[in-house]
Structure 1
Amino acid sequence: MMRSLFFLALLFSSGLQAALQEQAVSYTAGDTTLKGYLVWDDTKGDKQPGVLVVHEWWGLNDYARQRAKMLAELGYTALAVDMYGDGKSSEHAAEASTFMNSVVERAGISQLRFTAALAFLQKQASVDKGKIAAIGYCFGGATVLNMARLSTDLAAVVSFHGNLATQTPARAGQVKARVLVLNGAADEFVSADSIAAFEKEMTQAGVDYRLVNYPGARHGFSNPDADRLGKANNLPIAYDAEADKQSWEAMQQLFREVFKQ
């Protein structure tokens, strides 16, 4: 009897350890190799909704991977995408800015790399390819908003402390995704004028959107490393635990609605 209980306990323990499946993956966009991170919980069943996670301007780092893990624990197959190529990341603002500009200053590159990630995620056995959302942080937040503006086939996009300005404003009837913007009210990179312009743009385009301003929260409020990175790079960014918690809950509520969970 004791021996049977032992083996049952061993099987149960092994099952728990094997539940979260993590893979370093490679895919291509044009002639660029992109190195992402795919994660899912194999106890949650087949054909899960998929979520793309677009990193901050620092690049695909442990923070983006951790958010992907958190999504997998909620029952989604998550892909932390690589927008810079070769999995590059940095903790130095000047280098991160160079990486970011290499994408945003080249016409079509951001869309090409995002859609390559989307196509890769849709091919995964655990994914319901008709149920895909995208979230992004900082640079990534701006990226997912712009992908929605470009009529990318997504159920929802969520921007955490992302830039709201764009050179490709939404047109009436073109945005397929529901849009959620989670912004720090004390974010020095997002002005009141840009918020007003964004809301006018969304309203005129008939977008189903919601914008939340968290009082006192600064840029980078969702990232526990923001204080350290801000101090090291002389940037006005800071972690805010309450805004982090509330924004993650707001994202989950939106996903429950669009995925009818």
Structure 2
Amino acid sequence: MSIKTFELISTTENGVQLISYVALPENAADDKPVAGILVAPEWWGVVEHPKSITERLAKAGYAAVAMDVYGEGKLTSDAAQANMWMEQVLADQDMLMARCRLILNDFSDQLAVDGDNLAAIGFCFGGKVVLDMAREGMPLKAVATFHGNLSPKQPADSKFAAKVLVAHGGDDSMVTMDAVESFKKEMDAVDVDYTIGVYDNAKHGFTNPQADARAAENNADLGYNENAAKQSWDNMLAFMKANLG
């Protein structure tokens, strides 16, 4: 399927430009909008990996946007820099969620996007972002995370309406199985419909083809796992097909 891509610029109330990246099926015509999926990147920002994810989603028939939550299109391959930016936005999680809501609204306002048929997927830090969007009660039908940070901004309550799919690496040293168990308890407490898949021999970052290079550059316990990446992607597409009309 041929696709088209463009930048979507959202301006916050204090003038910060959020430069997100949109990919759409070429035939997403004004008269027949398609379901939309928001993509929250890893802590590196809107680099090649999230851009390629949005393009793959567009080729699968969805409108997709890689969200620039840092603002000004900032991106890096340096873990120390990424960590600093991530901590800056996590220091004001209400601001972070306001940025996500702004991007969601601007994205769903696109004529090609069915604003009543939205989902989100997130990677690592982005996993926390999309789960927190659901915790805030944003209009998402489905949320999927890949090697995601599961810790909540605030515990889920009755506002949490999305169904959840978690793809977790069995060898992830950054998000522990204890964190997964805590997440299960949080979801169970408010009867969220969730599925957790644990992928063998998969480390943190297992979906990112650049993970091995990032691991070497930053002395970090990351790793790409082609089998886990493919299986988790296929499972996510089936999950989206089941939950987006």
TM-score, L = length of structure 1: 0.90
Match of 1:109 in 2: 95
Match of 2:185 in 1: 200
1:237 counterpart SS class:
coil
CA–CA distance in 2 between the matches of 1:48 and 1:237?
35
Instruction: State yes or no: 1:127 paired with 2:113.
Output: yes
CA–CA distance in 2 between the matches of 1:27 and 1:85?
9
Q: Which amino acid aligns with 1:257?
A: A
Aligned length: 242
Compute the displacement of 1:43 (Å). Answer: 2.4
Q: Which moved more, 1:71-80 or 1:173-182?
A: 173-182
Identity of aligned residues (%): 36
Match of 1:91 in 2: 77
Of 111, 127, 145, which residue of structure 2 is paired with 1:159?
A: 145
Of 25, 29, 40, which residue of structure 2 is paired with 1:41?
A: 25
How is 1:1-261 mapped onto 2 (pairs within 5 angstroms)?
A: 19-31=2-14, 32-45=16-29, 46-171=32-157, 173-260=158-245
CA–CA distance in 1 between the matches of 2:93 and 2:228?
34
Which is bigger in relative contact order (C-alpha 8 A, separation at least 6)? Answer: 2
Compute the displacement of 1:147 (Å). Answer: 1.1
Q: Which amino acid aligns with 2:161?
A: K
CA–CA distance in 1 between the matches of 2:200 and 2:189?
27
Contact 2:28 2:112 (8 Å CA) reproduced: no
Match of 1:10 in 2: none
2:118 counterpart SS class:
strand
1:91-127 CA distance string (max 9 Å, x none):
0011001111111111411101110110011111111
1:103-155 CA distance string (max 9 Å, x none):
11114111011101100111111111100101111110111011111111101
TM-score, L = length of structure 2: 0.96
Distance 1:39 1:167, change over 3 A: closer
Greater C-alpha Rg: 1
Q: Which amino acid aligns with 1:25?
A: L
CA–CA distance in 2 between the matches of 1:148 and 1:93?
27
CA–CA distance in 2 between the matches of 1:152 and 1:125?
20
CA–CA distance in 2 between the matches of 1:253 and 1:30?
37
Q: Which amino acid aligns with 2:223?
A: A
1:108 counterpart SS class:
helix
Distance 1:151 1:124, change over 3 A: same
Mark the runs of 5 or more structure 2 residues left unpaired by the alignment: none
Q: Which amino acid aligns with 1:199?
A: K
CA–CA distance in 2 between the matches of 1:151 and 1:179?
14
Mark the runs of 5 or more structure 1 residues left unpaired by the alignment: 1-15
Distance 1:223 1:79, change over 3 A: same
1:27 counterpart SS class:
strand
